[in-house]
Amino acid sequence: MFRLLDRYILRETIGPLGLGLLVFTFLALLQELFQLAELIIERDVEVQIVLRLLAYSLPQIIVLTIPMAFLFAILLAIGRMAADSELVAMRASGISLFSIYRPILIMSLLLAAVTTYLMTVTLPAGNKATSELQLAILQRSVNQQVKPRVFYDGLQGRVLYVFESPENEDGWRGVFLADAVPGPEQQVIVGETGGINVTPGDGRSPVLTFGLADVHEVDTNDPSTYRLQRLRDANIVIEDSQFRHSEGLVLAKDVRSMTLSELVQTAEEPGGLAEKRTKARVEIQKKFAIPGACLVFGLYGIPLGFRNRRTGRSSGFLISVTMFLFYYVMLGNGEEAAVNGQVPPWLAMWAPNMLLLVLGTFLLWRRNRDKTLMISAVDRYLRVHIWRRILRLGRRRQIRGRRKRALEDRLARAQPQSLSLGGSPTRPRLRLRVEPFGLRFPGVMDRYVFGVFARVFAVTVAAALAIYIVTDFTQFVDEMFDNDVPSSVFAAYYPYLSLQIFYDVAPVLVLVTTLVTFGLLSQRNEVVAAKALGFSLFRLAIPALVAAAGIALLSAALENSVLPASNAKVAELKDRIRGNSGPVRSYQGMDRQWRYAQDGTGSGYIYNYRHYDADRQTLQRLQVFRFDREHRLIGRLYAAAARFVPGSEAETGGWQLVDAWVREFDGLTITSSNRFAGPQPVDLPEGPEFFDTEVKYADQMNRGELRRYVRDLTAAGNAVPELQMQLHNKTALPVVCFVMGLVALPFAFRLGRQGALYGIGISIMLGIVYYTVISVFVTLGQSEALPPLIAAWSPNALFGTLALYLFLGVRT
């Protein structure tokens, strides 16, 4: 039977547990939500299918956020009881902390059981269903998006070009497949027919199928060797750039998609690979070690939350995230050591739990004996030597300040008095000083509010980054082991990735920070005190709005100046993590130039080049593929550089090649082959004007470059609503930070003394609604249902107007 005290503690914990689970899960899924929105917008995937994909992805997030949310809930519940002196009253009544821990232990066992079920049953099924659904989306979306005579770059590292797609036939005619960014070793596949399909059997994966295909392979550093082969009924495994971890599309079960019985069978299989058996043993232990974290974290709630200061409640969020980050770092290092054979799998997975269990029991025992959490010698040293020294330095600074002000006052009073002609002092002059007109900002109250805002914002940023990094790292663990990726790569990868994470979550963080800041001020009656001193709520909100505007400016600066370079570095490091071998390449969009043209005879030409210099009319790393009317490759040209020579400088104007070679084909036969070292004129059907407009990517350009690029494409008669939408979003999206601060204010002041807990919940709901509205308007803008300018700024205008209306109605 539950005692009255047990039921009371459980009631106090359940509310924060649900809220913490919602907050942590939302933060972990935020990046995933952006990618799912892209599926709806860019690939026309039905909303119900995207929601199914989201539901299948939830178990792998929830198993991580349950222990974190549980610790967060205990810290809030115990912190609230300690702040209201309820724990002091219980202790005075003879109730030990171990008795208070009893309902927490019961809840720990329940959550551990739920997490175990998720890890052993729901998670494998969810991973398998996610892979199947992603594969179905890939097959359907590629078939929908691949259009004749249009280059498709949605495949990871490949570019696809289809010449014809007959309506009455299932498949394509004339298929060209090549590396999106060709390196020295190149492979080009030209097929008569093709399509996308799924291979049957247990090891299904998405593939491009070719009925009859010619494979051309060459090393451009040594073009003397050119390999040709013909394949029938060839299948090329593809990876999709939309899904971050395309390896998950291969449906041959890995250890994460196996049930517990399958893992046991794999671990005991005598003829299996040793590495796979080790991974299976590690995964078995992991399926029970992570639920065990619920039991371990339950020990820390009472000793860390039992504080008599009211500020202890607001620290629960940061403490829970920090502890789980520390726990998961130990778990990840242990998993790596176990896979490498350095320690047994059971020890690697359970060592973090055992270490934290011993430490948590020790802290609970010390707190139950009313001792500090630190050992007496350490606590005495910190209090006597460190803390007293800090206090002495502070007092000395105050004394010096008082002495300086006293000296200035004495000097001011010691000014000589004026004497009259008779020698008697004159009457003191009356000086009238008029304060200059202007606003006193920032004042003491402004600096105080801004300080609280800054501290809360720092906590939320740290928590959001930690949650995202932990979630992201779980997806890369298998690749790290398979590709033997050193930890230094991850140490460099996540700082660069953190910049993009901050840009993505900054609006939500501003919303959370504003609500929590004024929730804390209201809870401590500081808003009432400010109103009693003559500060209106409108005046009190100014520092928060200024801070939100500053974060908006920072986001704009990041997006315009920093993110293009940092995202390129992220792509490079991600390729290293995934084990993509091959030449070192640039990750800028300007290196991916693919164009198609036709001459008067009906022959088709595919051009690929690294860069075009319009001033000098030169091309770098030019490739030209020539096709006949039946879409067969009949000629290929490669040049390290090409320069257009006007007619005034030669007998006939045209292109001149440097370090080039040319080959012509008749099926698998090379009919001619020539190589040129010096300048060699060549007759190409296209002049410099064909290359003037380069194919660039919006995220690789700042606002000015994108504006000029859109203007050039529009002048050439191309409709580019997607690029126009991205151009206006480069200005509109950073402003979302300021709008979110404005949206939060009316709700923050209406919360009153309900505090930060309700503020966090409301902020999550508002964030979901806001991003849903943004996704709808982006879709309307890209489909040209609305002008891109109106579609980009409408969410800000709607929510800003509504926020102003609600804020002006606040009683102040």
pLDDT at 34: 67
pLDDT above 60: residue 426: no
Nearest to 294 by CA among 124, 73, 23, 81: 73
For the cut 50, the answer to whether the pLDDT of residue 312 exceeds it is no
The yes-or-no verdict on residue 568 having pLDDT over 80 is no
579: Cα separation from own chain's centroid: 21
In a domain, 383, yes or no: no
The answer to whether 173 and 165 are in contact (CB under 8 A) is: yes
State yes or no: pLDDT of 548 exceeds 50.
yes
pLDDT digits over 229-281, tens only?
A: 988 888 877 665 545 443 333 334 567 778 888 888 888 877 667 777 888 88
- Whether residue 603 is contained in a domain is answered as yes
d(CA 731, CA 555): 10
CB neighbour list of residue 546: distance below 8 Å, 6 or more residues apart: 450
At 439, the amino acid letter reads: L
Residue 203 has pLDDT above 50, yes or no: no
Question: Phi/psi zone of residue 661: left (φ > 0), alpha (ψ -120 to 50 degrees), beta?
Answer: beta
The answer on 128 and 183 residing in a single domain is: no
Instruction: Say if residue 479 is exposed, middle or buried (CB neighbours under 10 Å; 0-12, 13-18, 19+).
Output: middle
Instruction: Indicate if 280 and 334 belong to the same structural domain.
Output: yes
Query: How many helices (H) and strands (E) would you count in the chain?
Result: 21, 13
Domain end position, chosen among 690, 719, 734:
690
Residue 463 lies in a domain: no
> Which of 554, 561, 500, 565 shows the shortest CA–CA distance to 734?
554
Residues 734 and 801 in one domain: yes
756-782 and 4-43 helices, crossing angle to 10°: 10
pLDDT by residue (tens digit) across 765-783? Answer: 777 787 778 877 887 887 7
- In this predicted model, what pLDDT tens digit does every residue of 736-772 receive, in sequence order? 889 888 888 887 777 655 555 565 667 677 777 877 7
Give the number of domains in the chain: 4
pLDDT digits (tens, 9 = 90+) for 619-632: 888 999 999 988 89
Most confident of 5-9, 367-371, 441-445: 5-9
Q: pLDDT tens across 431-465, in order?
A: 555 555 455 667 788 888 898 899 889 888 888 88
In a domain? residue 185: yes
Contact between 208 and 235 (Cβ < 8 Å) = yes
Q: For residue 451, is it within any domain?
A: no
**DSSP H or E segment with residue 343:** none
Separation CA 646–CA 652 (nearest Å): 8
127 and 67 in a common domain: yes
Position 202 in a domain:
yes
* Residue at 412 is within a domain: no
pLDDT tens, 376-418? Answer: 555 565 566 666 777 777 778 778 877 877 777 777 666 555 4
Could you tell me if 699 and 573 lie in one domain?
A: yes
**What is the rounded distance in angstroms from the CA atom of residue 263 to the CA atom of residue 241?**
30
For residue 644, the domain's CATH number is 2.60.450
My answer on whether 658 and 511 are in the same domain is no
**At residue 62, what is the residue type?**
I
Same domain for 82 and 197? no
- Last residue within a domain, chosen from 176, 204, 238: 238
* 140 part of a folded domain: no
**Which residue shows structure tokens 């065990």?**
292
Question: Is the same domain home to 64 and 97?
Answer: yes
pLDDT category of residue 194 using cuts at 50, 70 and 90: confident
Q: Which residue has the higher pLDDT, 424 or 340?
A: 340
Is residue 179 within 8 A of residue 186, CB to CB? The reply is: yes
Q: Which domain holds residue 10?
A: 4-135+257-353
CA distance 321 to 744: 24
For residues 505 and 518, state if they share a domain.
yes
Same domain flag for 717 and 808: yes
228 and 276 in one domain?
no
Same domain membership, residue 762 and residue 782? yes
Residue that terminates a domain, selected from 640, 655, 690: 690
